[in-house]
Amino acid sequence: MTRLARWAVPLAAVALVMAYAYGRRPEVEPFTETRFLMDTLVTVTLWGAPEPDARAAADRAFAALAAVDQEMARVEGTPLWELNRAGGGRVSEALASVLADALAWARRTGGAFDPTVAPLLDLWDIRRGPHPPPSPLAVEAALSQVGWDRIRLDAWSGRTRVDLGGIAKGWAIDRAAEALRTAGVTDFIVNAGGDLYVAGRRGNRPWRVGIQHPRDQDRFLRVVAPMEGALVTSGDYERFYEWEGRRFHHILDPRTGRPARGCQSVTVWAPTAVDADALSTAVFVLGPEEGLRLLEAQPGVEGLVVAADGTVRETPGFARVAPEVRR
């Protein structure tokens, strides 16, 4: 046997191990930047662009998000705050557009999504932490100030206040995605507090998104590789407190004035985040049965619902737009 033949098998073994190890080598990491904006944590993740370009593109995305925040947050000094204080007034094109979207979704969801829940949000004040829930009389009084049909885009009738928390974040995510595309980035995730816009891929594989399990912080309900578009989740575990064994959370039912009780979480996929944002809130309020019917009636929209009893249901096309990834 020649010396070469004698070494052929061991060398082949070494080559195989090298090939295996190379396949498992540490991946190149995407560019990631995180900031506090819109009262939440926002992360922009980009793939493929060299660092200076990626940083410049991310800055544009953050600027787009900040612009929406500065106009539509319900905090002193913003145009929305001024609009609520004055009970009407002239608004910018952007604010008019979000108000128009909000009213359209209020109409389509029969008021399950309602941008005038501000009096209820202020009454319940979930962010304050554990405290006794408001009295039925107080809830009734706040409910009397709620009603999306009091708003006209050319006029403001009746006493109410607008909160765009259920839709402006989605609109801002869409603007950030637009800014990234304009900057020439095609592969990215915009993540605003767990509400996502996903575009392109992460190199040679799709982006992988974990959908949070609503009752176990350490688990994902599912890991999916979503199609290009928005994946927005509303859950009763994001902002809540417990009082005398009951959970009080921030998604309020505009019909009862109390936290909606039909679901633990709702995840909606839609081509735009503004639609996914409004729909995830509306479906949460409506509950699994009516909520899934609403989703199925919307073209190009899919969703996954975890009911109050923990059962998981989804629209027939959810697995197509967000196929599960094997782990």
Q: How far apart are CA 255 and CA 251, in angstroms?
A: 12
| Token pair for 308 | 């109050």
142 vs 266, beta carbon nearer other proteins: 266
Of 31, 42, 38, 171, the residue nearest 96 (C-alpha): 171
What is the smallest separation between the CB atom of 261 and other proteins, expressed in angstroms?
Answer: 19
Q: How far apart are CA 168 and CA 72, in angstroms?
A: 7
Q: How far apart are CA 121 and CA 105, in angstroms?
A: 19
Q: How far apart are CA 269 and CA 295, in angstroms?
A: 10
What is the smallest separation between the CB atom of 194 and other proteins, expressed in angstroms?
Answer: 3
Range 108-127, binding other proteins (CB under 8 A): 126-127
Q: Residue 241 CB: number of other CB atoms within 10 A? A: 16
| Token pair for 245 | 């064994």
Is there binding between residue 193 and other proteins (CB under 8 A)? yes
The single residue among 6, 245, 299, 309 that binds other proteins, judged by CB under 8 A, is: 6
Q: Residue 131 CB: number of other CB atoms within 10 A? A: 12
Select from 18-26, 77-85, 254-262, 282-290 the region that touches other proteins (CB under 8 A).
18-26
156 vs 241, beta carbon nearer other proteins: 241
What is the smallest separation between the CB atom of 304 and other proteins, expressed in angstroms?
Answer: 10
Is there binding between residue 236 and other proteins (CB under 8 A)? no
Q: Are 169 and 195 in contact (CB under 8 A)?
A: yes
Q: Residues for the chain: how many in total? A: 327
What is the smallest separation between the CB atom of 219 and other proteins, expressed in angstroms?
Answer: 11
> CA dist 285 to 144, 167, 273, Å?
19, 15, 18
Is there binding between residue 196 and other proteins (CB under 8 A)? yes
Site string for other proteins, 241-280 (x = CB under 8 A): x-------------------------x-------------
Of 215, 239, 210, the residue nearest 310 (C-alpha): 215
Q: How far apart are CA 78 and CA 100, in angstroms?
A: 18
What is the smallest separation between the CB atom of 103 and other proteins, expressed in angstroms?
Answer: 27
Is there binding between residue 13 and other proteins (CB under 8 A)? yes
Range 33-72, binding other proteins (CB under 8 A): 33-36, 39-41, 43, 45
The single residue among 2, 4, 21, 86 that binds other proteins, judged by CB under 8 A, is: 21
Q: Residue 52 CB: number of other CB atoms within 10 A? A: 8
37 vs 179, beta carbon nearer other proteins: 37
What is the smallest separation between the CB atom of 131 and other proteins, expressed in angstroms?
Answer: 9
What are the phi and psi torsion angles at 36 (to 5°)? Answer: -85, 120
145 vs 280, beta carbon nearer other proteins: 280
What are the phi and psi torsion angles at 304 (to 5°)? Answer: -130, 130
Q: Residue 161 CB: number of other CB atoms within 10 A? A: 21
110 vs 271, beta carbon nearer other proteins: 271
Is there binding between residue 217 and other proteins (CB under 8 A)? yes
Is there binding between residue 223 and other proteins (CB under 8 A)? yes
Which stretches of the chain bind other proteins, using CB under 8 A? 1, 6-7, 10, 13-14, 17-18, 21-22, 24-27, 29-30, 33-36, 39-41, 43, 45, 126-130, 189, 191, 193-196, 198, 202, 207-212, 217-218, 220, 223, 231-233, 235, 237-241, 267, 327
